[in-house]
Structure 1
Amino acid sequence: MSQKIVTADEEICWNDEDEKASGSESETEVTEETADDHQQDLLSDYAATETRIELMHSRLDTLAGLGLERFTCLEYLGCRQNLIKDLSPLTSLPTLVEVDFYDNRLKRISESIGQLTRLTSLDLSFNKIRAIENVDTLAQLSELFFVSNKIARIENLGALRMLTNLELGANRIRQIEGLGELEALEQLYLGKNKIAKLEGLDKLKRLRVLSIQSNRIVTMEGLDELVALEELYLSHNGIETIQGLECNGRLTILDVTSNRLTKLEGIGHLELLEDLWVSGNQLDSFDNIERVCGPLQALRTAYFEFNPLQRAQPATYRRKVMLALPQLTQIDATPCR
């Protein structure tokens, strides 16, 4: 019977390949074991009665393997700046009141979120979420943050009757809609979207802060019903005239920086106004500023820089503003002396 003769070179090659294969398998096992150990070690020092857990920037790509189910009293879970794509394991934590997954890799709001009916605060900002969904059971929610996602529509929020703060800045929203049921809302942030019209706000009688900076708004309208409004931020739009504020007498801050204003008007009745920001427009008249803002005795801070009236006379600009508005304590970023 013939027998294959293995030469020395062949034997060395076979042994090398065998060792490589064996080593590769071993490395895989070590890597998996190391990952599991890393997951488990993250929470090893936490007592089962812990109410707050913070796992910021911990290289997590999953919640599985953390052993979260043993924390039967957990109220706050923060996992900012990780690589998490799925929130399903949160169903084992019905006691959660606050959830913060800011800056992860979530593409959708999973059904598991809807089971956390005790939630009062949910932050899913800086992810890749395309639609607002599975939040209609979160009736206790008071704060909801979806900043910097890929959301195109404001929808599925009608059941959140206790919501007071909604942040949807830096998304792909073109229309203000779906807010009619949110009568408790006090703060609404919609900056850096594609909104061209102020609308759909008439039911928000308790709204105190409205921020719609960096959009496509050219006309100030649709604010008549916002009688509780105290802060209005409309910078970086295409507004040419300040108007439509007749019913907003509680305003203390008005920001119309970087628009297309050529004169100040429509604010003479705002007796409680403390801050007026109109930098980066086309204002060129100190007389206009004195006539409109002079009677506003509550005014303390005003930004007029980067207007023609400042660029044309940079050496005397501050002095002229101080003479026109002696009630000011700050001009631009510098306190008055």
Structure 2
Amino acid sequence: MASELHETIFIAKKERHKNLFLNYRNLNHFPVEMLKDQGLQFLERLYMKRNSLTMLPDNLAQKLPNLIELYLHSNNIVIIPEAIGNLARLQSLDLSSNALQLLCPEVGRLRSLRHLRLSNNQLKSLPPEIGNLQVLETLDVSMNQLASLPDRLHRCSSLQHLSADHNLLSRVPRHLCYLARLTQLSMAANRLTCLPLDLGGSRELQFVFVDNNLDLKGLPSYLYNKVIGCSGCGVSKRPRQQSQDEVLNEALSGLLAEVKMVASEADQVVPLEELAMRTLHRLYDRQRRQSTGHSALLTSGHVAKKKEKDFDCIFPDGKSPPAAPLPKSLLDLLQFPLGHCHRCTQAMFTVIYPKLFPMRHTALAGVHRRTTVSFVAYCCSSRCLRTFKLQG
């Protein structure tokens, strides 16, 4: 077996192979023949599935500098070296079914990485540096021990598929709603109690898997017709028939702590704090657009005039307020509101007006009869609450 392995690597060096298959070789250590002299400078894809590797060499990037794909599925790797960040061309890294307990921050230096698969490990957290992976398209962290996802994950602006099934997640970072290219989100078998108000607002997001989250009783109405699999969610602990108010209260349990008030159709006056935040958000949004070179969209024709009128009542001279430093917590809130009205898209910060649509009224009725999950619309005012209708 050793001689056969030696010959395979020797031929790969001699003939400058771009692909090398070392699957099912019962390897306990990374072959030293691959790291001798200049290494395998031409190698682009290395497959080492189902071996017994426990670690990777520190000089991997030095000896295999042109790696594009590294496939290490089903080994016993506990930790990956910091030098992994030197694989500048790496586009796909598969470490599924290993024994990883920690993911080093240097993974965030893999700026060419498009696919990162870490399922079936022992990870309890992910480094925030993952947010530096701007071209990442696929992230699979299913079957780990994650209690949270990094808030900076929303910086992975190219992310399309996110799988986090079978973890210990109790919440979904609301910043994920700003992943404009996300098409599929899978968070089955976790401990979710609610989902972000805006989740599903993007047209790109088409599939959301939330099976077996026992405390998840209400889904944002944006997810209507986008949810695949609700069985095992919102399982009622009491067999008795519940009233509409009780169902709504259960659906709203676990809402974001920042929601200070759950209003109703009778509450027609929006609190002053909320009005101030919405006004500040509009000003912030206008300044942000101008600073990023998009002001041309707001300075032509009737659009510009409408925008000017919006601010005349506050700044009659038509000028924006002078730039002033704001606390980071306030800036974060302005950049990422708690949600947007499902009727008119107005940003919301402290107050929501919920409207319940029981499961039997949706297109999923009769498909998942075991679930008590309902859809909830989140509106910005009593007027939007009255006029909102679930589209389907």
Q: Which has the greater radius of gyration?
A: 1
Q: Cα deviation per residue 1:192-214 (whole Å; 9 max; x = unaligned)? A: 11111132313111111111110
Equivalent residues in 2 for 1:72-151, closer than 5 Å? 72-85=15-28, 86-91=30-35, 92-114=39-61, 115-133=63-81, 134-151=83-100
1:171 corresponds to 2:121: yes
Per the TM alignment, residue 159 of structure 1 is displaced from its structure 2 partner at its CA by: 2.2
Q: 1:102·1:126 contact (CA, 8 Å) conserved in 2? A: yes
Whole-angstrom distance in 1 between the partners of 2:207 and 2:165: 14
Q: What is the aligned partner in structure 2 of residue 162 from structure 1?
A: 112
Per the TM alignment, residue 303 of structure 1 is displaced from its structure 2 partner at its CA by: 5.8
Whole-angstrom distance in 2 between the partners of 1:264 and 1:129: 40
Q: Cα deviation per residue 1:10-43 (whole Å; 9 max; x = unaligned)? A: xxxxxxxxxxxxxxxxxxxxxxxxx56xx34xxx
Give unpaired runs (5+ residues) of structure 1: 1-34, 41-62, 310-324, 328-337
Q: 2:143·2:167 contact (CA, 8 Å) conserved in 1? A: yes
Q: What is the identity, as a one-letter code, of the residue corresponding to 2:228? A: L
Q: 1:220·1:244 contact (CA, 8 Å) conserved in 2? A: no
Whole-angstrom distance in 2 between the partners of 1:65 and 1:110: 21
Q: 2:94·2:117 contact (CA, 8 Å) conserved in 1? A: yes
Q: Cα deviation per residue 1:70-126 (whole Å; 9 max; x = unaligned)? A: 532311111222211223322342211110101101111113521211111101121
Equivalent residues in 2 for 1:173-322, closer than 5 Å? 173-177=123-127, 178-199=129-150, 200-221=152-173, 222-246=175-199, 248-249=201-202, 250-261=204-215, 263-266=217-220, 268-270=221-223, 274-282=226-234, 288-291=358-361, 293-294=362-363, 304=368, 306-307=370-371
Per the TM alignment, residue 217 of structure 1 is displaced from its structure 2 partner at its CA by: 0.7
SS of 1:68's partner is: helix
Q: What is the identity, as a one-letter code, of the residue corresponding to 1:289? A: M
Q: What is the identity, as a one-letter code, of the residue corresponding to 2:40? A: L
Q: Cα deviation per residue 1:142-194 (whole Å; 9 max; x = unaligned)? A: 11000111212222213211101100111121112131321111110101111
Whole-angstrom distance in 2 between the partners of 1:248 and 1:119: 38
Which contiguous aligned blocks of 4+ residues in structure 1 show a shift greater than 4 angstroms? none
Per the TM alignment, residue 262 of structure 1 is displaced from its structure 2 partner at its CA by: 5.5
TM-score when normalising by structure 1: 0.65
Whole-angstrom distance in 2 between the partners of 1:70 and 1:154: 31
Q: Indicate the larger mover: 64-73 or 246-255.
A: 64-73
Q: Cα deviation per residue 1:130-152 (whole Å; 9 max; x = unaligned)? A: 11223222111111000111212
SS of 1:210's partner is: strand
Whole-angstrom distance in 2 between the partners of 1:305 and 1:247: 23
Q: 2:46·2:70 contact (CA, 8 Å) conserved in 1? A: yes
Whole-angstrom distance in 1 between the partners of 2:201 and 2:102: 27
Whole-angstrom distance in 1 between the partners of 2:172 and 2:33: 46
Per the TM alignment, residue 305 of structure 1 is displaced from its structure 2 partner at its CA by: 5.7
Whole-angstrom distance in 2 between the partners of 1:226 and 1:148: 27
Whole-angstrom distance in 1 between the partners of 2:199 and 2:190: 21
Alignment size in residue pairs: 246
Give unpaired runs (5+ residues) of structure 2: 237-246, 248-356, 374-389
Whole-angstrom distance in 2 between the partners of 1:146 and 1:262: 31
Whole-angstrom distance in 2 between the partners of 1:112 and 1:87: 13
Q: What is the aligned partner in structure 1 of residue 239 from structure 2?
A: none
Determine what percentage of the aligned residue pairs are the same residue: 22
Aligned CA RMSD, in angstroms, stands at 3.0
Per the TM alignment, residue 280 of structure 1 is displaced from its structure 2 partner at its CA by: 1.7
Whole-angstrom distance in 2 between the partners of 1:248 and 1:198: 20
Q: Cα deviation per residue 1:291-333 (whole Å; 9 max; x = unaligned)? A: 4x44xxxx8x996265479xxxxxxxxxxxxxxx9x8xxxxxx
SS of 1:228's partner is: coil
Per the TM alignment, residue 229 of structure 1 is displaced from its structure 2 partner at its CA by: 1.2
Q: 1:180·1:203 contact (CA, 8 Å) conserved in 2? A: yes
Per the TM alignment, residue 69 of structure 1 is displaced from its structure 2 partner at its CA by: 5.2
